[in-house]
Amino acid sequence: MHSTANRLQSTFGYFTTCAFALAAIIAVLSLVPIPSPASSPSASISVRNVQVVKGRPHYYSEKREEYAQIRFDLDADLSSLFTWNTKQLFVYITVNYPSAKDGNSGMSEAVIWDTIIPTTATPYSWQSLKQKYFPEKKKSKSKSRKTPAAKAKTTDLTKPGVLSLKNQKPKYQVTDPSGVLSERGNATLQVSWNVQPWVGALIWDKGYLGDRLGKWDAGRVGRSEIFEFHPLKSKPEVVRDKNGPKTPPAGSAAPAVEI
């Protein structure tokens, strides 16, 4: 006869094997687009303004260096990437520019903006089931009123993956290890995404499954036109006399003429 510990160990091992098998089946089935999406993901991005200044890009920067701020316009429809196994979508924008002014040292890449788009609530999601079987107590009317920002956020989540940004300010500045960024040409902005499922592996737009499931030609779709970093704006120098103002010698001043 087996002891109680052996029986519990066998039961736990069987349960773990079944759980891993179920997770593997879900991960494989999520790769099959059922139902098939009506459209493919699309994105369009354009540069609005590029400004190169010299200073401290971060509060912890030890020295002054050149950094750039890029404002952009973005119109994207990534709703077809959301399936029954999608937890959230990570969207980010990178700037690709030459590592040196001569353009013979390869390309550098830096993230200037990103966002996380969660999936919409379904009748079988955790929040819906929690509200159904364990409803929260109703709050007073003064506290239950939704602010305009909360209403806008709820409306935006009705169809996740749709972005429309105009003259968007970047979250992160563009810096270079050399400390010099001005007068760099052949730069572009690129829209990229990463699908994070509930069960399964992450799917990147530049990965093996990104161009197959999302029908997304990584590197070409969501790329802006070529632009360049402008020369550094220099402030006019103010010439000051180190010795301070001087009193003119006697007799050098012009006499005042009364009319």
pLDDT digits 0-9 by tens, 102-148: 767 788 999 999 999 998 876 656 667 677 777 877 665 555 455 44
The pLDDT of residue 148 is 44
Question: Among residues 31, 16, 2, which one has the least CA distance to residue 202?
Answer: 31
pLDDT at position 46: 95
Q: Give the pLDDT of residue 89.
A: 94
* pLDDT band for position 85 (cuts 50, 70, 90): confident
Q: Is the model more confident about 111 or about 34?
A: 111
The mean pLDDT value for 174-186 works out to 86
The pLDDT of residue 152: 39
> Is 14 or 38 the better-scoring residue by pLDDT?
14
* pTM (global) more than 0.85: no
pLDDT score of 119 = 87
pLDDT at 181 over 80: yes
Domain map of the chain by residue range? 39-213
Q: What's the CA gap between 189 and 194, in Å, rounded? A: 17
Print burial letters for 88-117: b (CB count within 10 Å at least 16), e (below 16).
Answer: ebebbbbbbbbbeeeeeeeebebebbeeeb
Average pLDDT over residues 77-85: 88
Phi-psi region of 90 (alpha: psi -120 to 50; beta: other; left: phi over 0): beta
Q: How crowded is the C-beta side of 63, counted as CA atoms within 13 Å?
A: 8
Residue 240 pLDDT > 60: no
* pLDDT in the model for residue 250: 59
Residues 6+ positions from 233 with CB-CB distance below 8 Å: 51, 52, 53
Q: What is the mean pLDDT of residues 169-182?
A: 89
Q: What is the mean pLDDT of residues 14-26?
A: 84
